[in-house]
Structure 1
């Protein structure tokens, strides 16, 4: 039986940490659907620099990804209900509380596992695994 996995995030300025997260998520099942947060819905950190559609198109082009779509304008659970996943894979450092998410999913009648992807450590000195760190480096060296 096929296992469907959902991963989600902002995916602004793709970096090796994103690739690790998505590869780890894909390894949790057979098909990986990725939900890209809309710029207007990002409230827990700085808004993405890149437009919604560009971020979606970049994620869709990655090997582990079978489907990439933008999140719903108002309700984050709408695409999850449409996909009906077996697993929701959270990034190792995403702000989501796994227990609170399980409770919210249950309240919506969505029966799926919630797992957290592993962390990826830098493989060489200077490797940047964070959009914020990339932006800081660009500002330090180019601004």
Structure 2
């Protein structure tokens, strides 16, 4: 059985997240997803949704077999417990594959690191969705009765 681990923040779920998880799942028989803890997200703005809600949303997605929150102090602790064959990275995750591979080997973790390509869509990132909302909805336009219920 091939175990795959995907990681990320997964704030404001969108088609890019689903694509990343579907592509990760295709690489193995079982997909574990490690969702970043609020306190550990330092490379971008703080998540809009709290960690407990983000992990619950990820857990509900069809490609996901197991979803859990990352460790507050050691990002490799859940990896050591899961012992995956493959770890996937999203196209825009800030990890260097070679450095990550070395750090895994230093901890006697023998997982292949695979970078998943980006989803070909204009709103395939949480930050782009937020920017789009501000550009098209703020300040909020007056209610349009013809668009109610969309």
Smaller-chain TM-score bracket: over 0.9
**Mind listing any 5+ residue stretches in structure 2 that lack a counterpart?**
140-150
Larger Rg: 2
For residues 123 and 118 of structure 2, what CA distance do their matches in structure 1 show?
13
**Residue aligning to 1:82:** 81
Alignment counterpart, residue 127 of structure 2, candidates 125, 132, 138: 132
Superposition pairs of residues 102-113 of structure 1, within 5 angstroms: 102-113=101-112
Superposition pairs of residues 32-111 of structure 1, within 5 angstroms: 32-111=31-110
TM-score using structure 2 length: 0.89
How many residues get paired? 138
1:56-77 Cα deviation digits (max 9, x unpaired) = 0000000000000000010000
**Mind listing any 5+ residue stretches in structure 1 that lack a counterpart?**
none
Tell me, what secondary structure is at the counterpart of 1:89?
strand
After TM superposition, give the deviation of residue 29 of structure 1 in Å: 0.4
1:84-135 Cα deviation digits (max 9, x unpaired) = 000001111211100010010001110111111122212xxxx411100111
Q: Over aligned residues, Cα RMSD in angstroms?
A: 0.9
**Residue aligning to 1:23:** 22
Tell me, what secondary structure is at the counterpart of 1:22?
helix
